[in-house]
């Protein structure tokens, strides 16, 4: 039986995007969800010199294999200056060196959150375009603005309107991978 792989694009130990992913994973019933904390994956900054000298780390190969074996992905990207973080882009760079089609046949629920009113929509839009390059299919997107006002770690999404939109999109994603 395959699983859903869930992770955030952040390597911060206090990532709000990881908290959103963790909450999302907790809502999926009847299916195995593997939750990965990317702060435990310290990939070096990609360069061809580093690749030539050291090859691919075991943790990178294992992570790529988890992606390959997953029937779907839940990813929440963090935003730095309207773009995905350097860490997230670096992770994609490493994965693409292992296999340029590492997202082939993967259905993705792509999310983003931030403390601001735009909800990391810039990073979300960039990531969605990047995933197409690696042959991933974004089934649904969700942006949670004003994280501090609209999210509680124990209750989840506290804004009723956003919670309804989120539930509809999560349901659509789960149906798409079933």
The whole domain housing 168 covers 3-177
First to last CA, the chain: 12
How many structural domains is the chain composed of? Answer: 1
Mind spelling out the 3-state secondary structure of 47-61? CHHHHHHHCCCHHHH
Q: What CATH code is carried by the domain that includes residue 132?
A: 3.40.50.360
Q: What span, in angstroms and rounded, lies between the C-alpha atoms of 170 and 60?
A: 28
Tens digits of per-residue pLDDT, 35-75? 999 999 989 999 999 999 999 999 999 999 999 999 999 99
Tens digits of per-residue pLDDT, 90-141? 999 999 999 999 999 999 999 999 999 999 999 999 999 999 999 999 999 9
Q: What span, in angstroms and rounded, lies between the C-alpha atoms of 66 and 40?
A: 15
**Residues 12, 83, 25, CA angle at the centre, nearest 5°?**
50
Tens digits of per-residue pLDDT, 69-98? 999 999 999 999 999 999 999 999 999 999
Paired residues of 79 in beta bridges: 84
């Amino acid at each position: 039986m395959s699983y859903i792989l869930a992770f955030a694009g952040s390597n911060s130990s206090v990532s709000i995007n990881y908290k959103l992913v963790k909450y999302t994973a907790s809502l999926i019933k009847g299916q195995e969800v593997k939750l990965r904390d990317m702060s435990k994956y310290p990939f070096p900054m990609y360069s061809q010199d580093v690749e030539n000298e050291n090859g691919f780390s075991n943790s990178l190969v294992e992570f790529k294999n988890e992606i390959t074996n997953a029937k779907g992905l839940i990813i929440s990207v963090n935003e730095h200056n309207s773009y995905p973080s350097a860490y997230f882009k670096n992770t994609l760079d490493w994965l693409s060196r292992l296999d340029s089609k590492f997202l082939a046949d993967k259905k993705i629920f792509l999310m983003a959150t931030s403390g601001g009113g735009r909800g990391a929509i810039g990073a979300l839009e960039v990531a969605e375009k990047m995933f197409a390059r690696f042959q991933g299919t974004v089934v649904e997107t969700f942006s949670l603005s004003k994280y501090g006002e609209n999210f509680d770690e124990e209750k989840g999404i506290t804004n009723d309107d956003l919670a309804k939109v989120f539930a509809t999109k999560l349901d659509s994603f789960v149906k798409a991978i079933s």
